[in-house]
Amino acid sequence: MDFSEKIAHWAKIVNEKLADLVVPKNSPEATIYEAMRYSLLSGGKRLRPVLSFAVNEILGGRQDDIIIYTCALEMIHTYSLIHDDLPAMDNDDYRRGRKTNHKVFGEDIAILAGDALLNYAFEIMLEDIYAHMDSPDLPGRINAARLIAKASGTSGMVGGQVVDLESQGRNISYDILEYMHKCKTGALIKAAVQIPLAINNVTGEYEKALLTYAENLGLAFQIKDDILDIEGNLEEMGKKTGSDSASGKITFTAYFGLDKAKEILKSTVDAAIESIAVFGDKANFLTELAGFIAERRS
Amino acid sequence: MDFSEKIAHWAKIVNEKLADLVVPKNSPEATIYEAMRYSLLSGGKRLRPVLSFAVNEILGGRQDDIIIYTCALEMIHTYSLIHDDLPAMDNDDYRRGRKTNHKVFGEDIAILAGDALLNYAFEIMLEDIYAHMDSPDLPGRINAARLIAKASGTSGMVGGQVVDLESQGRNISYDILEYMHKCKTGALIKAAVQIPLAINNVTGEYEKALLTYAENLGLAFQIKDDILDIEGNLEEMGKKTGSDSASGKITFTAYFGLDKAKEILKSTVDAAIESIAVFGDKANFLTELAGFIAERRS
């Protein structure tokens, strides 16, 4: 399989698993499953699961061992998008080319659908941990769930969202800009790499190389996001553009200007690629992925 | 210690532990810790932790073994109140006699503070599980976290909230009313009892007796809540009353009328007390607690 076939293959696997994990039910709370599925199965890029699968392959891990954790991470990513889009937050009407969750189900259900996805992420991980109580794989699974919790909470994604909100319309230092993105987008992207590392119990040189890759990939992803907010368009992006600058958010492009931001993007991608040289040809997919992140148009 | 001293004693222990778990920080995301603490340390009744401690005492468990789990449950309860109070949900300005979270910190931070508390509940449980990796206590802890996740998600609290939202202004059957309350309030109250059962690895007759008690206590709590929504006042309740009937919510009082609701409350309390007869005098506190729930004025 070439690069795009591999992405499509892995995205399909995770899409099918997510659809299996959140099934429509004919119970009094049926709406919540509908609302969860609406956003969860709306065909995102699945960058985080693809990253987990790619790293897992390099480490020689079994896909079945990590899939619950990478689906949990995708649920957490999705909950954060639902809550981010709310009128009280970014107030976005479109996401991935479709109406946002609260536009379809109402704000109240959208808040609960986000809550439900976050909760369910931990529910499926804890069920998996419970099911592996007597297995030698138990410690790695517990560690993966623990790292995901840290990445999505106040010292990770939620913390970054708070800094983002509070920085709007203010002059912030580059340190704060970097800290915000490390938390807001970077933490979950890093967690995608931490999952296979934890479950395959990999430490040392390989761990260090892959975590450096993940950090640079996360940073590149965010710089590119900021560039797309200026250069992208609704049709390709599936969401409104220009909204970050309009709301006075500090972005890489606002901070450095477009040209300098593109330069930093390039050097960040180079740093990501360089960090995984230790894996030789086995890292080809990750190398292409870093380029793909920088070149993407949505 | 008599009944009220015991409640005060246990509430103090959990208040101190919660304050230790969520500490103010001088980091860029400092506001989130403030917002979390504002609602978490606002002096609720601590019914769920008190219930966990009381059951744990009957079972001869150590308080240190359950405190993280009961604090996690209280964080989940608190997050649900913050989100429930939002304009898009119940739109309440007061809670426990103070302004609601979004009234103080804004809707955006309130949404994130709720998300953060839910996430942090799982974070502290997973850290505790991780720290007990080689302990014989590990399985009970994993089971407790798993049961809490089930209780707070779509098959528990969140599911009940959805049914509650969707039942407003509609005629619903008694089955749905009961289902809603079993999920919305009952699931977390039951989880408070499941924590010491799981961690002390108690099954059989004792488990059955205590779960029956918990189910009846949860139902009694909700019936009393519905009665207080009619008979209580802002001063004693610390929040607006009459809002459930005003918003067309189906309540026990709306369904049965006030007198009949009081009768059902009494028989539910009796059923709770009867179920724990097997513990003899050791169940005195739980017996008083059931009466206290029915007699409370806030």
Q: Per the domain annotation, does A47 fall within a domain? A: yes
Euclidean distance between CA atoms A45 and A92, whole angstroms = 19
Residue B241, pLDDT > 70, answer no
Euclidean distance between CA atoms B282 and B287, whole angstroms = 10
Helix, coil or strand: residue A94: strand
Q: B 205-224 residues with CB below 8 A of A?
A: none
Q: Are residues A238 and A98 in contact, defined by beta-carbon separation less than 8 angstroms?
A: yes
A130 interface with B at CB cutoff 8 Å: yes
Q: Per the domain annotation, does A295 fall within a domain? A: no
Q: Which residues in chain A are contacts of B33 at CB distance < 8 A?
A: 154
Q: Per the domain annotation, does A294 fall within a domain? A: no
Q: Which of A123, A129, A135 to mutate to test the interface with B (most CBs of B within 10 A)?
A: A123
Say which range, A32-46, A91-105, A163-177, has the weakest mean pLDDT.
A163-177
Euclidean distance between CA atoms A32 and A34, whole angstroms = 5
Euclidean distance between CA atoms A167 and A177, whole angstroms = 9
The whole-number pLDDT of residue A239 equals 63
The whole-number pLDDT of residue B124 equals 98
Q: Please, which pLDDT band fits residue A171 given cuts at 50, 70 and 90? A: confident
The whole-number pLDDT of residue A170 equals 85
Q: Please, which pLDDT band fits residue A229 given cuts at 50, 70 and 90? A: confident
Q: Which two tokens stand for residue B220?
A: 């009694």
Q: Which two tokens stand for residue B149?
A: 């996740």
The whole-number pLDDT of residue A145 equals 98
A154 interface with B at CB cutoff 8 Å: yes
Instruction: Taking the CA atoms of A269, A270, A274 and A275 in sequence, report the sign of the dihedral they define.
Output: negative
Could you tell me which chain A residue has the CA closest to the CA of B123? A149
Q: B 263-282 residues with CB below 8 A of A?
A: none
CA angle A259, A260, A263 (to 5 degrees): 95
Q: Per the domain annotation, does A130 fall within a domain? A: yes
Provide the residue type at B271 as one letter. Answer: A
In 3D, which of B119, B22, B122, B125 has the Cα closest to residue B66? B125
A160 interface with B at CB cutoff 8 Å: yes
B176 interface with A at CB cutoff 8 Å: yes
B142 vs A27, A111, A133: nearest CB: A133
Q: Please, which pLDDT band fits residue A250 given cuts at 50, 70 and 90? A: confident
| CATH code (residue B205) | 1.10.600.10
Euclidean distance between CA atoms A98 and A44, whole angstroms = 11
Residue B230, pLDDT > 90, answer no
Say which range, A204-218, B60-74, B236-250, has the weakest mean pLDDT.
B236-250
Average pLDDT over residues A12-38: 97
Q: Please, which pLDDT band fits residue B93 given cuts at 50, 70 and 90? A: very high
Contact call for A183 and B139, based on CB within 8 A: no
Contact call for A154 and B122, based on CB within 8 A: no
> Residues 6 or more apart from B227 whose CB is under 8 A from it?
B252, B253, B258, B261, B262, B265
In 3D, which of A260, A36, A155 has the Cα closest to residue B158? A36
Instruction: For residue A101, give how far its alpha carbon lies from the nearest alpha carbon of chain B (Å).
Output: 14
Q: Which of B115, B172, B199 to mutate to test the interface with A (most CBs of A within 10 A)?
A: B115
Residue recorded with tokens 């954060």 = A80
Residue B10, pLDDT > 70, answer yes
How many A/B residue pairs have CB atoms within 8 Å? 156
Euclidean distance between CA atoms B24 and B60, whole angstroms = 35
A88 vs B107, B115, B153: nearest CB: B107
Report CA-CA distances (Å) from A235 to A47, A289, B188. 20, 23, 45
The whole-number pLDDT of residue A139 equals 97
Structural domain count of chain B: 1
> Residues 6 or more apart from A152 whose CB is under 8 A from it?
A76, A80, A118, A158, A187, A188, A191, B119
Residue B69, pLDDT > 90, answer yes
ipTM entry: 0.95
The whole-number pLDDT of residue B74 equals 98
Average pLDDT, chain B: 94
Euclidean distance between CA atoms A33 and A175, whole angstroms = 40
A127 interface with B at CB cutoff 8 Å: yes
Residue A83, pLDDT > 70, answer yes
A188: left (phi over 0), alpha (psi -120 to 50) or beta: alpha
The whole-number pLDDT of residue A237 equals 60
Global confidence as pTM: 0.95
Q: Are residues A56 and A140 in contact, defined by beta-carbon separation less than 8 angstroms?
A: no
Contact call for A126 and B145, based on CB within 8 A: yes
Residue B171, pLDDT > 80, answer yes
What A15-24 contacts at long range (C-beta under 8 Å, 24+ apart), as own/partner pairs, is A15/A41, A15/A43, A15/A46, A17/A67, A17/A71, A18/A71, A18/A74, A18/A75, A21/A71, A21/A120, A21/A124, A22/A120
DSSP state of A242: S
Average pLDDT over residues B208-235: 90
pLDDT digits 0-9 by tens, B117-131? 999 999 999 999 999
Which secondary-structure segment (H or E) carries A95?
strand A94-95
DSSP state of A61: -
Q: Per the domain annotation, does A8 fall within a domain? A: yes
In 3D, which of A71, A78, A154, A158 has the Cα closest to residue A110? A78
Q: Please, which pLDDT band fits residue A274 given cuts at 50, 70 and 90? A: very high
The whole-number pLDDT of residue A298 equals 77
Q: Which domain holds residue B114?
A: 3-295
In 3D, which of A249, A179, A247 has the Cα closest to residue A219? A179
In 3D, which of B242, B254, B235, B252 has the Cα closest to residue B298? B235
In 3D, which of B75, B118, B36 has the Cα closest to residue A162? B36
In 3D, which of A99, A177, A154, A161 has the Cα closest to residue B108? A161
Helix, coil or strand: residue A240: coil
In 3D, which of B47, B9, B43, B14 has the Cα closest to residue B217? B47
